[in-house]
Amino acid sequence: MSFVAPILVFVFFLAPALRLLSLAARTRQAPELWCGLYFLGASFGLSLRVFGAGTQLEMPDAALLANSIGHVGLAAGTCAMALFTQRVFHPESGRAKTFAGCIVAAIAGTTLWTFAGDHVAAESSAAVIATNAFRVVPTAWAFVESFRYWRSMRKRASLGLADPVITNRFLLWSIWTAGVSLMPAMALSLRLAAVVVLGDVDRAVQERSAYLPQVMSVVRATFLVITPTCALALMLAFFPPKPYLDRLRASASNAQRA
């Protein structure tokens, strides 16, 4: 069972990564490249971090290696998401470029802190908490921008001035980025709670061993609620079935005639 969840996560993120990177190879456009790199980093990073967290007690050496590679993958992926959001929504804005640069620097710095302090597998350490906190920022930023853009395009689509399919994709991207921001944010809250409950993150192994399964059970239960919605939004955004697209266009056409 320790291998099932990581494999599913890997495959789920790899599918859009391959599609976007293939598109980037044809178009030579930066947005497709950055978004593809985000999904590629997430596919390796998240799957290995899930594996590392789930096997930390049973296979500590394997968990340490998985967590180490996972941190690098997630760092690269979340940096790519920051650059994607800047390039798509604020391509000419100096402030957005500076903000994206600060996010990349913060993610790189906290990731190096994680390795330098030998905190890779210490989920409640200050280094890992700071690292995970900064990694939420790029997807949260993407959610804010895409949601604002969807609201604007929805008004235009109702007047026939915007493509209803593209408008819907911004909504789906908003749902996706909201979910992938909320899930790590909640996991981060649980790690902070672990510090409060345990008091000292270096307490006896048996106390940490008793607390870790409780944390993982809450995380899994939360993910079971959010993940299906996010998965559906992502699949409809990148692999929409023809009936779904036809329904969007028909609804937009009916709204315009009304």
What was the pLDDT predicted at 208? 52
CB 237 within 8 A of CB 172: yes
Q: What is the per-residue pLDDT for 182?
A: 87
pTM score, two decimals? 0.84
Whole-number pLDDT of residue 14: 92
- pLDDT per residue rounded down to tens, the chain (258 residues): 467 878 888 888 999 999 999 999 999 999 999 999 999 999 999 898 888 877 777 787 888 888 889 999 999 999 999 999 999 999 999 999 999 999 999 999 999 988 886 666 666 778 888 888 999 999 999 999 999 999 999 888 877 788 889 999 999 999 999 999 988 887 777 777 666 655 554 444 445 555 556 656 666 666 677 888 888 999 999 999 999 999 998 887 777 666
pLDDT at 254: 77
Residue 222: which domain range?
Answer: 4-257
What pLDDT score does 92 carry?
Answer: 93
Domains held by the chain: number: 1
